[in-house]
Structure 1
Amino acid sequence: MKHTNREVLTKGLKYLAAALPLALIGPSILFSAFNNQESPWYIPVLIVGIAAFAGSIFLMFKGIMTIVKALFD
């Protein structure tokens, strides 16, 4: 089934919309983790913050590539 350019563009914008909260939450979580290094929750919170950053970067990349595909394909 062939997707129309509008559907692919909408899909790319959804990826970017999903990346936005992660891009805002990731630094907050990491800041909290680095301020509480003596806490026993330091490592789990640090892992969650890094995962939020990685998810944000992945979704931004995938969204931008999808939008480029919709515009130039």
Structure 2
Amino acid sequence: MTKTKRTHKETLVKGLKQMGGSLICMFTGPSLIYISQTKLTAPIDTIMLVIAIAICCLAVYLGFRGIHTIMDSMFKKG
């Protein structure tokens, strides 16, 4: 009797949560960049721009990490 490969559900859910966090960051980061670029007069706007760029970088990282985790849940042996 051969054992069939199955998706590890806990790891899949973890990957989907990471992709959800990435989706939230994908909308939050560019929105904050737009808001900080519209006026850019106070020093707080520059700080907000730096934070927004960091959120955009986090979105890319979470996206790659989420895809990697989802692929591990489907194709990893063991």
Alpha-carbon separation, structure 1, partners of 2:17 and 2:33: 25
Match of 1:37 among 34, 37, 40: 40
Matching of residue 69 in structure 1 with residue 64 in structure 2: no
Output the CA distance in 1 between the equivalents of 2:65 and 2:55.
15
Q: How many residues align?
A: 70
Amino acid at match of 2:71: V
**Which structure has the larger Rg?**
2
Superposition CA RMSD, Å: 1.3
Cα displacement (A) at 1:43: 1.5
Structure 1 length-normalised TM: 0.86
Secondary structure of the structure 1 residue equivalent to 2:56? helix
Share of identical aligned residues, percent?
Answer: 31
Q: Is residue 53 of structure 1 aligned with residue 50 of structure 2?
A: no
Query: What is the distance in 2 between the residues matched to 1:38 and 1:11?
Result: 41
Q: Gaps (5+ residues) in structure 2?
A: 1-6
Q: Counterpart of 1:12?
A: 15
